[in-house]
Amino acid sequence: MKYSSSTPPAPPEWMKVRLKFATEAPTTAADVREKVTGSGLHTVCEEASCPNLGHCWSRGTATFLVMGDRCTRRCGFCDISTARPLPLDPTEPLRLAETVRSMKLRHVVITSVDRDELPDCGSTHFAACITETKRLNPETSVEVLMPDFKAKPESLQRIFDAAPHIINHNIETVPSLYREICPQSNYAHSLEVLRRSAEAGFMAKTGLILGLGETIDEVKEVIADARKAGVKLLTIGQYLQPTSDHAPLKAYIAPETFEELKSFALKQGFVYVEAGPLVRSSYHAGDALDFLLQADGKPADLTEKT
């Protein structure tokens, strides 16, 4: 999709932050990059140009991108390339699990590109990545940020059978912008994925990005829809336009608005909400885990009937 060129608004003061690194990092960003590169894996941290990469990597955490680095969908906000994907690599699940073990991660996030060209949308491979990671890392909790798999029940069931501890699927934006921003996605499908995940007994999570032209009332409607679907964890962040070829940034959202939306979400019944300009789906995922487990639980405690 072609977007009309326009000059984005100037970044306000609250977006001009100094890059932060953990003061007592268990590892360094260079260590993480070396291990990821050496294993032939990809991270969404790099592929999606996440602004929090330095902070997370210096704390020894990363979000792994499986099923390749080429996506079959073209979403206007996303910096991952759209191209004909390569065949799936059957060695990837084991390589992922071994890398997680070598990094000694307490909490790992696994995400993927969309693989709509495959009959199962890649769900069998994605499930294998979860299973192998859990097998080699029994003390590590596993969070997935998964595509909608076209809301196919059999594909979703494969993920459920692999039993990740948290299932995240991002709604991303409001329904009125789907045709423009993510034309190959479907708002109803996303809600169905989240509803089925919650009904299957998993801690369901979703995320939104703001600044694409949505109204606050529309955002609140999406938050309410997600909660009705059984979602308990929510992230809300600021859209940052990767390049001039991407969907134009319409507005920077004030911190006070993020606080307003966080308060609204908590009143709706969400148990954990991260909302702020630099918040991303996997940012502080370990902090959410600590909150859910009250710092002394076990990963298995996250699975519950809702």
Q: Cβ neighbours of residue 42 under 8 Å, at least 6 residues apart?
A: 36, 64, 65, 66, 68, 69
In-domain check, residue 185: yes
Q: Whole-model pTM?
A: 0.85
Domain assignment of residue 140, yes or no: yes
182 is in an annotated binding site: no
Rounded CA gap, 215 and 218, in Å?
5
Q: What pLDDT score does 295 carry?
A: 37
- Lowest-pLDDT range, 15-19, 97-101, 256-260, 270-274? 15-19
Instruction: Write out pLDDT tens, residues 188-210.
Output: 999 999 999 999 999 999 999 99
Using the predicted structure, report yes or no on whether residue 48 has a pLDDT greater than 90.
Answer: no
Own/partner long-range contacts of 80-86 (Cβ < 8 Å, ≥24 apart) = 80/44, 80/47, 80/48, 80/113, 84/117, 85/113, 85/115, 85/117
Number of domains making up the chain: 1
Mean per-residue pLDDT, 273-302: 68
Question: Residue 113's domain spans which residues?
Answer: 16-292
Q: Looking at the predicted structure, is the pLDDT value of residue 245 above 90? A: no
User: Do strands 63-66 and 42-43 pair parallel, antiparallel, or not at all (unpaired)?
Assistant: antiparallel
Which helix (H) or strand (E) element contains residue 273?
strand 272-275
Q: Mean pLDDT across the stretch 158-187?
A: 94
Q: What per-residue confidence (pLDDT) applies to 297?
A: 45
Tell me if 6 is assigned to some domain.
Answer: no
Which two tokens mark 306? 């809702």
Q: What is the mean pLDDT of residues 34-57?
A: 60
pLDDT at 176: 95
Q: What is the pLDDT of residues 111-156, one digit of tens each?
A: 999 999 999 999 999 999 999 999 999 999 899 999 999 999 999 9
How far from each other are the two terminal CA atoms of the chain, in whole angstroms? 39
- Residue at 227 is within a domain: yes
pLDDT in tens, 68-95: 988 988 887 787 888 899 999 999 999 9
Taking the CA atoms of 101, 30, 275 and 226 in sequence, report the sign of the dihedral they define: negative
Residue 181 confidence (pLDDT) above 80: yes
Q: Is 56 annotated as a binding residue?
A: yes
- Tell me what the pLDDT averaged over the chain comes to: 84
78 is in an annotated binding site: yes
CATH of the domain at 202: 3.20.20.70
Please count the helices (runs of H) and the strands (runs of E) in the chain: 11, 10
| Maximum average pLDDT range among 47-51, 104-108, 214-218 | 214-218
Q: Name the residue among 121, 126, 110 with its Cα closest to residue 72.
A: 121
Mean pLDDT of 272-288: 80
Which range has highest mean pLDDT (37-41, 156-160, 295-299)? 156-160
Does residue 9 sit within a domain? no
Candidate from 35-44, 189-198, 239-248, 250-259 with smallest mean pLDDT: 35-44
Residue 143 belongs to a domain: yes
The whole-angstrom separation of Cα 231 and Cα 224 is 10
- Return the closest-CA partner of residue 55 out of 256, 285, 242: 285
In the predicted structure, residue 303 carries a pLDDT above the cut 80: no
Query: Does residue 304 form part of some domain?
Result: no
In a domain, 5, yes or no: no
Dist CA 27 CA 72 (whole Å): 34
